[in-house]
């Protein structure tokens, strides 16, 4: 596990340096007069065709449009989910309460067992005697 974090850190560092060098090379190529004309013949055709201002403008416009559309979609989805969650919150609360109440594990600490224990402790003494005798009868019937 430790080696994974080390390699992840190294990969991030390599990526950061690569991007920095690419940005610096782009700045040098773009702002040095005549540099583009001297470099383009040595580059592959697909790369040389992308060293134009028109191509860069098209890419930036496309990326900006995609980001704006994604932001609008995420905003609308968030509002819709927020409205749905507000309306569904009481129903989800009831379902979770019922699920918790009907839980069967651990055997000695289920909500029903805790409620029965509280009732037994707080019941009047006359009721406690009845509960004890009932428990005794249940225990005897289980032994048979």
| The pLDDT of residue 70 | 96
Q: Tens digit of pLDDT for each residue in 71-103?
A: 999 999 999 999 998 899 888 888 888 877 777
In the three-class reduction of DSSP (H, G, I as helix; E, B as strand; rest coil), residue 123 is classed as: coil
pLDDT at 56 > cutoff 60:
yes
- SS3 annotation, 4-41: HHHHHHHHHHHHHHHHHHHHHHHHHHHHCCCHHHHHHH
pLDDT at 144 over 50: no
- Mean of the pLDDT values across residues 46-73? 88
Q: Strand, coil or helix: what is 110?
A: coil
pLDDT > 60? residue 137:
no
d(CA 19, CA 25): 10
| Residue among 86, 16, 93, 9 at smallest CA distance from 101 | 93
Lowest mean pLDDT among 13-22, 46-55, 105-114: 105-114
Each residue's pLDDT tens digit, 100-134: 777 777 766 677 667 777 777 777 666 555 555 55
Which residues make Cβ contacts (< 8 Å) with residue 55, sequence separation at least 6? Answer: 49
């Amino acid at each position: 596990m430790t080696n994974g974090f080390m390699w992840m850190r190294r990969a991030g560092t390599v990526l950061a340096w690569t991007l920095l060098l690419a940005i610096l090379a782009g700045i040098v190529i773009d702002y040095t007069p005549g540099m583009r004309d001297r470099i383009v013949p040595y580059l592959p055709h697909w790369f040389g065709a992308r060293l134009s201002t028109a191509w860069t403008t098209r890419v930036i416009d496309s990326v900006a449009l995609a980001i704006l559309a994604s932001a609008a979609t995420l905003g609308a989805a968030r509002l819709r989910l927020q409205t749905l969650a507000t309306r569904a919150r009481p129903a989800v609360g009831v379902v979770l309460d019922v699920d918790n109440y009907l839980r069967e594990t651990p055997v000695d600490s289920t909500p029903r067992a805790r409620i029965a224990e509280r009732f037994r402790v707080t019941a009047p003494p006359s009721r406690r005697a009845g509960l004890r005798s009932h428990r005794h009868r249940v225990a005897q019937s289980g032994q048979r």
